[in-house]
Structure 1
């Protein structure tokens, strides 16, 4: 083997090891971490709404300046949707359900028959003849 093929093989082996480690499954986040992530997502969505509001205000300002300084501009076309202020950030976490209300311990329905019967499987579902 040449020196470059050894390096290539070693590089491929290292890349495979990194991919194996990178694809490892992470554990589920704790309830506190999940709540914190949900609040961060809500705050990011609110920040996006604030950014859109500021953009709308600046576009209205530019359009008003254009209509004021351009004699050929049509002032009747000044209509449009008003900018909606998102207001201050407010986050209300969802109420946690008790385990029994969430259905964690109860089966989905009441059993109407025992799980096993005395009827042989061949009699219950006869084989089709081709």
Structure 2
């Protein structure tokens, strides 16, 4: 099992937000989804509100909305996922990031210990 990194913040909906604005899903979330086969990413330049569905991750089991953990503007997406969606499974905290947001308002997010306590 992957240890939840302490260098980022977490939403109760299982997304993480790194200091550089990168967003992904947690190891717990990717484990629940199963093998990821497709990722639908948001458009660069899109303004999003915290809690808004902005991406979709499809696995062999289900499709799941991914929510913005903060308000702001999408400034980048992980282009590698179009050819290698399995990165969401194999490297959820590194190469499997989904999009990058220029945060205007963060709101309440959890630290790693609080996320682990509510996720399991």
TM-score if structure 1 supplies the norm length?
0.16
Q: Which has the larger radius of gyration?
A: 1
Which one has the bigger strand percentage? 2
Which protein is richer in helix relative to its size? 1
Structure number with the bigger relative contact order (C-alpha 8 A, sep ≥ 6) is 2
